[in-house]
Amino acid sequence: MYKWLLAWRYLRTRYLALASIISVMLGVATLIVVNSVMAGFANKLRDRLRGLLADIIIEHRSDSGFWNVEQKVKQVYEILGDRVEAVSPAIETFGILQFSYPHSREVITRPVLVIGVEPSSRARVGQFAQYLLNPEHQKNPEHCLEVRGETARRFRKVMESMRRRMDWRSMTYGKLDPEELVRRFDPGQNGPTSPFDGDSEAPPLPPPPTPPELPPEMREPSGIILGYSIATCRKPHAQVVDAEKDYFLLRPGDRVSLMLLTSFDLPGHDGTQGYPRPMEDTFVVTDLFKSEMSEYDARLVFIHLRDMQRLRGMVNRAKALYIKLRDYRQDAAEATRLLSESDAFPPYSYLVQTWEERQGSLLAAIAIERGILNVLLFLIIAVAGFGIFAIFYTIVVEKTRDIGILKSLGASHTGILGLFLSYGLFLGLVGAGLGTTLGIAITVYINEIEQALAYWTGQEVFNRSVYYFDKIPTDMQLSMVLLVNVGALFIAVLASVYPALKAALLHPARAVRWE
Amino acid sequence: MPNSSILLEARDLHKSYHKGRHEISVLRGVDLRVEEGELIAIVGASGSGKSTLLHLLGTLDVPDRGEVWFAGRRVDRLSASEKDRLRNCEIGFIFQFYHLLPELTLLENVLMPAMIQCSLWSWWLRRWEAHRRAWEWLDRLGLRKRARSRPQELSGGEMQRAAMARALMNRPRLLLADEPTGNLDLQSAQEVTALLRDLNRTHKLTIIMVTHNWELAQQADRVLRLAEGKLTPLTEPRNLSAALTCGGASP
Ligand SMILES: Nc1ncnc2c1ncn2[C@@H]1O[C@H](COP(=O)(O)OP(=O)(O)O)[C@@H](O)[C@H]1O
Ligand SMILES: [Mg+2]
C-alpha cells in the first residue's frame, strides 16, 4: 500500500523527475504526429495509386494490343460473373506534346504519357472524374473529352486569330517562287536520298493506317485532358494561405498538338511487318486533371480511346482492360487467378495484376520508410528511458536513508522494488498521457500549425510543388496510439528496473547510517 | 531454553567490519539478557559499536558469530520476509536524527508501519482502525495539531516524538532507541526522556536505548557499558557519571 502513496508523493515533490516526464512526453507526441502524418500520406498515396489504376489490370504484352475489345470485355464478365463492377479498355503510350502558351510564340515540347480512355467506363472503374477540374465533367464524365460550349467557342476564336497569323505568314512565304518551294521540299525531284531508292524491288511503304481526313484547321478537333502541372505554373511567391497559387498557362479551348508513334508490330496493308511512324494531330484542351500527385499531374494526358485507335492504327484494339471489382479485399486473389488461368487471357500474351502488384515496389518502399522512421523515433523514447534511468539512479542514492528507514519499519525487498517500479510507471503514465494529448492536438491542428509557421517564417514547411495536397493528410489510428503508449510505459518501467533493484538490495543497517 | 520472562537475549555476539584491507572488530562477544518490561540504557564511547549492537538486536544486520533470541525464537537466522515481519510488528526503532520520511505528513509517517503491514485491499478495510490508533498516539505525544505538517516544519523534539509515535504504531514489544536525545535541546530531551519512562511503566514496553544523556541513563533499570567490544554492567551512579565523561560525548 505504502508504495503507491510514496510513489505518488515522489512524483509530486521531485521536480527532477519532470525532465524525464517531458522527454517521454515529447517522444510519445512525436511518434503519434509522425505516424499519423505518414499514415495520412501513405493512405492518400495508396488511394491515388489505386484510383489512377483500377483493382485489376489485364495488359496485353504486345504494343499493338488485342483485337475485338467488346468481346474481351464480355469475356471478363463471363469469367468473373457478378464480382465485376465495371471494365474499361485503355491504350497507353508515350507521346510528345507541343503547344505554345498564349502571349508567347515559343513552342513548348513535353514528353507525356498518353492514355486513351473511354471516359464513361473509365470513370466507373477508378477515380477519374473526381480529378477533373470542371465540375460539370465531374458529374458527367462521359462528355469530358467533347469540344462543346464555351470550350468550342474559345477554340474557334483562338483558331481564327491563328489563321490570321498564318495568312500573314503565307503572304511572306508567298513572295517565294512556288516552284522553288516544291523543288526544295520534294525529295523525288532531287535524285536519290533514301538508301533503298536505287533498289526498284524495294516494297512501297504502307500508307498510314487511317490518316486524319482533313487538315486540323478545317476539322472539329478532338478533346484532350492535360495533367494540371503541364498547364499551370506556380506563382513564385505563393503563400500557403493563398487560394490561387498557380497561373493557368493553358485553358480549356486552347490548342495543343500531340505526336505519337503508330503501333509497332501491326502488319502493313500488304501483309509485311510494319514499323512505327510518327503521327501528329491537333487537340483541344477540354479540361485539366489534378490528382494531387505531382508525378502524374506533370506527365499524364488523356485522349479518347477512339482517337488513340485512329492515330495508332489500332482499329478495334486496346492494350489493357481496367477492371473494378465489387469487393476488392475478398475477391482480388481469386479474380486474378481465374483471369490468368482462363483461355481468353493466356499468360504468354496477357499480364494480369492487381494494382498492388503493379505498384509493389513503391508501396514496399513506403512501408520500409515508415518502419525505419518508427525505429528511429522509438529511439527518442529510448533516450527518454535513459533519462529516467539516470534520474532514478540519483533518486535512489538520495533516498538511501529513507529506504533504510522503510526497511527498519518492516518493508520487504519486493515492497521497495515495487515502490520504485511504480514510480517509474507513474512517470511513464504521466509522460505518455501528456504526450498523447499533445500529439493528438498537434495532429488535429497540423494544418493550422503549418500555416502559422509559414506565416511567421515566410517559408513553406510543406512544399506544395512536390505534393499538391492542399492540406497535410493525417490518419490517426487508435491502435497506433495505444501501441506507442504501451511502448513508452514499457521503456519507463524497464529503465527503472535496475535502480529499483539496487534500492531493494540496499543493506538496511548501512542505509540507516547513511547521512 | 531461555527463561519465559526473558524477551531478548544475545549470546556471544561478534561483528567486524572491513575497511579496505583492515578488519575492525567492533563487537567481541556481547552477552545480553533483557527481561520483559525492562528499560535498559547502554552507554559507551562513540565508535564503540553501540549502533551496531542495536542493529544486530533489531535484525537490521546479521552477526558474524553468536545468536539473537527474541521471545523464545532465534531471530538472526530468520528468512528476510520473517525478519521484515518481526521489524514491522514486534520491534520499534528510534534514531538520533529522527529519520522521518520528508515527503509525508506526520500522520502519514505515523501510519507508515500499518501501511507496510497491509496490502492495498486490507489497507482499505483497516484504514479507519489504523487512523484511530495513529491519532491516539499523536494525542498521547501531544502532536495532534501538527499531524498535517511536514517533518521539516517541526522542531527536533516534535520530530523525535513523531518518530516515537511511528515506532509504537504497531504496538511492538521491544523499542530500540539509538541516542534518542542526542540531537535535542535540554527541554525536549527531558520530555522525550519522561515519555520513554512513562511508556515503559504504563505499557510494560521493553526499551533498550543507547544514550549519552545523564538523566535518561539514570531513569534506566540497568545501565550497561559497551567498551572494547564487550558489555559490562554499570550500576553505581558515580561510575555512571565517570563512564559518561570518559565517553566524552555527553551533551
Ligand atoms: N558499514 C560499515 N563499514 C565499516 N565500518 C563501519 C560500518 N559501520 C560502522 N563501522 C565502524 O564500526 C565502528 C562502530 O560504529 P557504531 O556502531 O556506529 O558506533 P557507535 O554507535 O557506538 O558510535 C565505528 O568505528 C565505525 O566506523
Ligand atoms: Mg551510533
pLDDT in tens, B141-198: 888 888 788 888 888 888 888 888 888 888 888 999 888 887 778 888 888 888 888 8
pLDDT profile of chain A (515 residues), mean per 10 = 79 78 87 88 84 88 85 89 90 91 79 92 87 87 82 80 65 53 48 42 46 52 89 70 73 88 63 71 89 84 90 86 89 87 88 88 85 83 81 85 86 86 86 92 87 78 62 84 90 87 85 73
CA A52 to chain centre: 9
Confidence at residue B238, expressed as pLDDT on a 0 to 100 scale = 52
Give the three cell numbers for residue A336.
486474378
Please report the pLDDT score of residue A302 as a whole number.
94
pLDDT, position A197: 42
Q: Please judge whether B86 and A410 are an interchain contact, meaning their C-beta atoms are less than 8 angstroms apart.
A: yes
> Helix, strand or coil for residue B79?
coil
Give the angle A88-A92-A93 at the CA atoms, nearest 5°. Answer: 165
Q: Do A437 and A296 belong to one domain?
A: no
Same domain, A237 and A278: yes
The verdict on a CB contact (< 8 Å) between B87 and A410 is yes
**Domain membership of residue A171 as a residue range:** 153-187+204-218
- Buried/exposed code over A97-121 (b: 16+ C-beta within 10 A; e: otherwise): bebebeeeeeeeebebebbbbbbbb
User: Strand pairing partners for A67?
Assistant: A317
For helices A16-52 and A478-504, what crossing angle results, to 10°?
Answer: 150
Show Cβ contacts of residue A136 under 8 Å, excluding neighbours closer than 6 positions: A143
Domain-embedded: residue A235: yes
Residue A461 lies in a domain: yes
Residues A288 and A389 in one domain: no
Same domain, A424 and A435: yes
Q: Residue B121 is placed in which grid cell?
A: 485491499
Listed as own residue / partner, the contacts of A267-273 with beta carbons closer than 8 Å and 24 or more positions apart are A268/A205, A268/A206, A269/A206, A269/A207, A269/A209, A270/A203, A270/A206, A272/A203, A272/A206
A269 shares a domain with A131:
yes
Q: Given a cut of 90, is residue B50 above it in pLDDT? A: no
* Domain identity same for A39 and A80: no
Mutate to test the interface with B, among A9, A13, A401, A409 (most CBs of B within 10 A): A409
Give yes or no: residues A89 and A237 share one domain. Answer: yes
What is the per-residue pLDDT for A374? 82
Are residues A368 and A505 both part of a single domain?
A: yes
The ipTM (two decimal places) reads 0.87
Residue A192 within a domain: no
Q: Are residues A351 and A377 in the same domain?
A: no
> Which of B24, B93, B225 to mutate for ligand 1's pocket (most ligand atoms within 8 Å of CB)?
B24
Residue that is last in its domain, among A218, A241, A259: A218
Whether residue A16 lies within 8 A of chain B, CB to CB, comes out as no
pLDDT, residue A195, reads 41
Residue B66 has pLDDT above 70, yes or no: yes
Give contacts of B 168-227 with A, CB under 8 A: none
Residues with beta carbon < 5 A to ion ligand 2? B 51
Is A336 found in the same domain as A250? yes
The span from the CA of B195 to the CA of B207, in Å, is 12
Buried b / exposed e along A481-497 (16+ C-beta atoms within 10 A): beebbebbbebbbbbbe
pTM here? Answer: 0.70
> Does a structural domain hold residue A196?
no
Integer Cα distance of B126 and B120 in angstroms: 10
Which among A473, A503, A279 has a CA at the least distance from the CA of A403?
A503
A298 and A233 Cβ atoms separated by less than 8 Å: no
Which residues in A lie closer than 8 A to residue B120 (C-beta atoms)? 1, 4
- Asked whether residue A479 falls in the same domain as residue A332, the answer is no
Whole-angstrom distance, CA of residue A43 vs CA of residue A474: 9
| Number of C-beta neighbours around residue A133 at 10 A | 15
Tell me the C-alpha distance between A185 and A393, whole Å. Answer: 92
CA distance A336 to A491: 45
The gap from C-alpha B13 to its chain's centroid, in whole angstroms, comes to 18
Residue-wise pLDDT for B193-237, tens only, equals: 888 888 888 888 899 988 877 777 777 888 888 888 888 887 655
For ligand 1, atom 6, which residue shows the shortest CA distance? B17
Query: Would you put residue A144 in left (φ > 0), alpha (ψ -120 to 50) or beta?
Result: alpha
* Residue B124 confidence class, pLDDT cut points 50, 70, 90: confident
Q: Beta-carbon neighbour count of residue A353 at 10 Å?
A: 17
Are both A169 and A282 inside the same structural domain?
no
A6 near A419, Cβ under 8 Å?
A: yes
Residue B28: beta bridge partners?
A: B14
As a whole number of angstroms, the distance between CA B212 and CA B46 comes to 9
Partner A contacted by B35 (CB < 8 A)? no
Answer whether A510 contacts ligand 1 (Cβ < 6 A): yes
Whole-angstrom distance, CA of residue A339 vs CA of residue A497: 58
C-alpha cell at A27: 517522444
Average pLDDT over residues B95-111: 86
Query: What domain count does chain A have?
Result: 3
What are φ and ψ of residue A227, in 5° steps?
-60, 145
User: A158 φ, ψ to 5°?
Assistant: -60, -45
